[in-house]
């Protein structure tokens, strides 16, 4: 018996989870755990005590209440495609793996909304929408594994933010479980409901630190009648960004503007045996997509023809040829991952600072880490650049700090769409004031008094 006045921690017996989720959903074999213990970039290695796989909201609530009563930390994990290590449970923590929450309700065609389990993949959601002639407008290359719950928790952006906004803009209802097992939220999908704090807004981007998202209701949109894609070659980022701005002014139908550079395109071509898009190779390429009602193709062709600074162009107006052009952009993340551990610094710059940043960050890496390789690409339409550094030690946080300081000095955000997770939390102060971080902590404490959910993620 303890006599020091402190509360004794209850003994933790993982067998107690078996009646809640079933023995087959309490994974403890070290070889099996290994698959859930490392992040997609292979930079963040964890060591969860167990992986628990609940199959319903009630099971999530029961697991959380059990863990909270034992002050046992729980880290939610969806598809584990996150790029900042937020889904990785450290030693002694539980990994709450949510892909069994994969129920997809029938689409409510009247409201063009659908309610899905947090474990439903983006691919499955997009397919369900297409089956009834609608479309889910968020898209990203990890679509076959990324889950709706993970996408809400990270407020994922993706390829069409300039037209449809990030995940936050699509969520019209949420169901989530607080650390103590309380279920909150609603899935009515009311577009107007001003009855106090808006839980979907609070949970979008909360990275598993405030609640476990169990179900989400999302808004769908009408499909576009026509779509066209152009790959445009330029001499410089300045020329490319000027053309991007001109295109957006000329055409309301632009749905994606992506920027890639010669070295990244060359890497993609070598990694996946693709033919180079242009000969000679261009220094900077824009992948531009336009989609909308009938007539887009002519408007797009006219707008592209009027651009200045375009050295060469490839245009596709059918799905198959569009997909071929998209590969030069979409396969960057995979190609870079083949090189080994990658420092992924996903940042946004004000558009007027973007071209300057691309040169400044290259000069910084050449000066500070001459042995490293730098790979830059991104969603140029919204100022988002993915800064990828390979050839440096996985734990080299100093170089991350130097890049992120440059971003903050340039008026940008140190996380455009991937979140803060574990890899960027030491740098949160570059974008958030002490008062803001204290406010975030207060919100966290109000919802998760014992600090059960994802300690070590997001908050410094
Ligand atoms: C090839 C590739 C391309 C990508 N492209 C993009 C892109 O264009 N735009 C973009 O924004 N991201 C992109 N990503 C990153 C990633 O796909 C997104 O962050 C995605 O939202 C993560 O979903 P997930 O289910 O894999 O979440 P996980 O990686 O499992 O988790 C991510 C975070 O969410 C939390 N979480 C997961 N599920 C829940 C839940 N149900 N409740 C509460 N918290 C939860 C985790 O704890 C963690 O903090 C890309 C990744 C890859 C590998």
Class level of CATH domain 113-219:
alpha beta
Answer yes or no: is the C-beta of 158 below 6 A from any ligand 1 atom.
yes
| The two domains 226-333 and 339-424 share their CATH topology (first three levels equal) | yes
Answer yes or no: is the C-beta of 161 below 6 A from any ligand 1 atom.
no
Answer yes or no: is the C-beta of 256 below 6 A from any ligand 1 atom.
no
Measured CA to CA in angstroms, residue 15 lies from 23, 34, 63, 76 at distances of 8, 20, 12, 20
pLDDT digits (tens, 9 = 90+) for 353-394: 999 999 999 999 999 999 999 999 999 889 999 999 999 999
- 442: CB partners within 8 A, 6+ apart: none
Answer yes or no: is the C-beta of 94 below 6 A from any ligand 1 atom.
no
Residue nearest atom 27 in ligand 1 by C-alpha distance: 150
pLDDT recorded at residue 1:
30
The CATH code that applies to domain 226-333 is 3.30.70.2190
* Pairing verdict, β 284-292 and 226-234: antiparallel
CATH 3.30.420.40 fits 14-97, yes or no: no
> 339-424 is classed in which CATH architecture?
2-Layer Sandwich (3.30)
Answer yes or no: is the C-beta of 383 below 6 A from any ligand 1 atom.
no
Answer yes or no: is the C-beta of 118 below 6 A from any ligand 1 atom.
yes
Distance (Å) from CA 202 to ligand 1 centroid: 17
Mean pLDDT of 165-170: 97
pLDDT digits (tens, 9 = 90+) for 80-138: 999 999 999 999 999 999 999 999 999 999 999 999 999 999 999 999 999 999 999 99
Answer yes or no: is the C-beta of 64 below 6 A from any ligand 1 atom.
no
Burial of 354 (0-12, 13-18, 19+ CB in 10 A): buried
pLDDT recorded at residue 371:
97
Answer yes or no: is the C-beta of 73 below 6 A from any ligand 1 atom.
no
Which residue(s) pair with 342 in the sheet?
A: 390
pLDDT digits (tens, 9 = 90+) for 269-328: 999 999 999 999 999 999 999 998 889 989 999 999 999 999 999 999 999 999 999 999
Answer yes or no: is the C-beta of 166 below 6 A from any ligand 1 atom.
no
- pTM for the complete prediction? 0.93
Mean pLDDT of 399-424: 97
Distance (Å) from CA 394 to ligand 1 centroid: 20
Domain boundaries defined on the chain: 14-97, 113-219, 226-333, 339-424
DSSP letters spanning 175-222:
EEE-TTS-EEEE----S---SS--HHHHHTT-TTSS-EEEEEEEE-BP
Mean pLDDT of 178-205: 97
Distance (Å) from CA 145 to ligand 1 centroid: 9
Q: Say what percent of the chain tops pLDDT 90.
A: 93
Burial of 183 (0-12, 13-18, 19+ CB in 10 A): middle
pLDDT recorded at residue 11:
72
Beta carbons of 179 and 449 less than 8 angstroms apart: yes
Using pLDDT thresholds of 50, 70 and 90, give the confidence band for residue 454.
very high
Report which of 254, 260, 240, 255 is spatially closest to residue 303, judged by C-alpha positions. Answer: 254
Answer yes or no: is the C-beta of 79 below 6 A from any ligand 1 atom.
yes
Residue 419 CA: nearest ligand 1 atom is 19
Distance (Å) from CA 78 to ligand 1 centroid: 7
Strands (E), 58-108: 74-77, 94-97
Beta carbons of 164 and 221 less than 8 angstroms apart: yes
Q: What is the mean pLDDT of the chain?
A: 95
Q: Select from 46, 76, 116 the residue to mutate for testing ligand 1; criterion: most ligand atoms less than 8 Å from CB.
A: 76
pLDDT recorded at residue 9:
53
Mean pLDDT of 216-241: 96
């Amino acid at each position: 018996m303890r006599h020091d006045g402190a509360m004794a921690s209850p003994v933790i017996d993982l067998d107690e989870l078996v009646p809640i989720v079933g023995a087959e959903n309490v994974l403890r074999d070290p070889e099996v755990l290994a698959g859930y213990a490392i992040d997609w970039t292979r930079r963040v290695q964890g060591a969860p005590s167990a992986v628990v796989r609940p199959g319903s909201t009630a099971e999530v609530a029961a697991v959380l209440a059990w863990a909270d009563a034992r002050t046992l930390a729980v880290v939610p994990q969806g598809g584990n495609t996150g790029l900042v290590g937020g889904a990785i449970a450290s030693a002694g923590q539980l990994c709450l793996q949510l892909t069994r929450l994969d129920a997809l309700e029938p689409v409510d065609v009247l409201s063009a909304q659908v309610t899905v389990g947090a474990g439903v993949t983006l691919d499955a959601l997009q397919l369900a929408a297409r089956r009834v002639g609608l479309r889910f407008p968020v898209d990203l290359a990890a679509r076959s594994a990324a889950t709706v719950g993970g996408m809400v928790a990270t407020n994922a952006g993706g390829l069409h933010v300039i037209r449809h906004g990030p995940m936050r803009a699509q969520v019209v209802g949420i169901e989530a479980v607080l650390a103590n097992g309380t279920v909150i939220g609603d899935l009515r999908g009311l577009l107007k409901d001003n009855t106090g704090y808006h839980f979907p807004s609070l949970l979008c981007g909360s990275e598993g630190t405030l609640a476990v998202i169990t179900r989400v209701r999302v808004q769908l949109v009408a499909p576009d009648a026509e779509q066209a894609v152009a790959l445009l070659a330029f001499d410089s980022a300045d020329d490319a960004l000027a053309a991007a701005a001109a295109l957006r002014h000329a055409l309301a139908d632009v749905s994606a503007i992506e920027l890639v550079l010669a070295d990244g395109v060359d890497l993609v071509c070598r990694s996946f045996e693709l033919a180079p898009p242009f000969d000679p190779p261009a220094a900077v390429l824009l992948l531009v997509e336009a989609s909308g009602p009938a007539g887009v193709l002519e408007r797009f062709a006219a707008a592209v023809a009027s651009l200045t600074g375009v050295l060469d162009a490839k245009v596709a107006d059918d799905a198959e040829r569009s997909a071929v052009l998209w590969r030069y952009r979409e396969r960057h993340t995979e190609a870079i991952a083949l090189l080994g551990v990658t420092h992924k610094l996903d940042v946004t710059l004000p558009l007027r600072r973007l071209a300057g940043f691309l040169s400044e960050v290259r000069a910084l890496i050449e000066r500070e880490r001459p042995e490293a390789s730098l790979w830059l690409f991104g969603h140029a339409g919204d100022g988002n650049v993915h800064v990828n550094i390979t050839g440096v030690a996985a734990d080299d946080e100093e170089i991350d700090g130097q890049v992120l300081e440059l971003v903050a000095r340039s008026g940008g955000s140190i996380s455009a769409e991937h979140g803060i997770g574990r890899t960027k939390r030491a740098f949160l102060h570059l974008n958030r004031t002490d008062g803001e971080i204290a406010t975030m902590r207060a919100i966290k404490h109000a919802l998760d008094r014992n600090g059960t959910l994802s300690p070590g993620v997001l908050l410094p």
